[in-house]
Structure 1
Amino acid sequence: MKIISHKDLKVWQESMTLVENIYKITSEFPKEEMYGLTSQIKRASISVPSNIAEGAGRKSNVEFMRFLYIALGSLSELETQLEIAVRLSFTSHNESIEKQIYFIKNMLSKLILSLKDK
């Protein structure tokens, strides 16, 4: 399959689904957290597909990899923020989201490795 756009990348598609799921989860958070943790979690999740897209639009594999690493960092940030939300009793552990994050991290890592080989 030829990649024409970042939208063709499975990792981008999965990360867009993650954003949707995060928005559903955070809609249940306390309203007073709208500008605090809720906002941080949403921004971290949005950062993942955004950085994949921006990197895919760059001219070199080195630049693309840099943005993929940023996306990986955003996933780690998101994991931490979700753990904080659990500890503050805003939500409970969500195994489905945890698996989704792990899956996306794995795909990003494999994509980075494939770009290093080129």
Structure 2
Amino acid sequence: MKANSFEELLIWQKAIEIGVEIYSLSDQVPLKSDYKSRDQLIGCAISISNNIAEGFEYNNKLQFIRFLGYAKGSAGELRSQLALLVKVNRVSEETYLKLKEELIVLSRQIKALMTYLKNKKE
């Protein structure tokens, strides 16, 4: 299947879902008043979908692969921030484990697309 827009990409759709979850989490106590952590979490979360979209829109395979790498990096950064926030009791262990699993799956999917694109003949 060839995607005609980034909105058709399952990885972008999943990144948006994770972003929505992070916004919801950030609106709850205690993160609601922890502005620094809240901003960091939201920034990382939206960076995943934004990098997928931006890379796709360049309409250049190498640029897309590069931006997919950035998106994958942002997913890792978000996992790291969530791990820290669980340790300082800003995020529950249950929420952390759920989001961690979703982010690991998303990272694998991004990596698989990167590999596919690298190996794809023009």
Greater mean deviation of Cα atoms: 78-87 or 42-51: 78-87
Residue of structure 2 in register with 1:7 after alignment: 7
Residue of structure 2 in register with 1:58 after alignment: 58
Gaps of 5+ in 1: none
TM-score (norm 1): 0.93
Residue of structure 2 in register with 1:88 after alignment: 88
Gaps of 5+ in 2: none
**The structure with more helix, counted as a fraction of residues:** 2
> Is this contact kept in 1: 2:25–2:31, CA < 8 A?
no
Higher relative contact order (CA 8 A, sep 6+): 1
| 1:31 Cα offset (Å) | 4.1
Residue of structure 1 in register with 2:46 after alignment: 46
Tell me which amino acid in the other structure corresponds to 1:33. Answer: D
Distance 2:77 2:99 in 1: 14
Distance 1:82 1:98 in 2: 8
TM-score (norm 2): 0.90
Number of residue pairs the alignment of both structures matches? 117
Cα distance change on mapping 1:90 and 1:115 into 2, 3 Å:
same
Distance 1:6 1:54 in 2: 9
Distance 2:119 2:78 in 1: 29
Distance 1:32 1:20 in 2: 18
Distance 2:74 2:42 in 1: 11
Identity of aligned residues (%): 29
1:116 aligns with 2:118: yes
Tell me which amino acid in the other structure corresponds to 2:34. Answer: E
Deviation readout 1:54-110 (Å, 9 max, x if unpaired)? 000113111001100000110111011111111111111222211110111011000
Greater mean deviation of Cα atoms: 12-21 or 75-84: 75-84
Structure 1 stretches of at least 4 aligned residues deviating more than 6 Å after TM superposition:
none
Tell me which amino acid in the other structure corresponds to 2:117. Answer: L
Two-structure CA RMSD over aligned residues (Å): 1.1
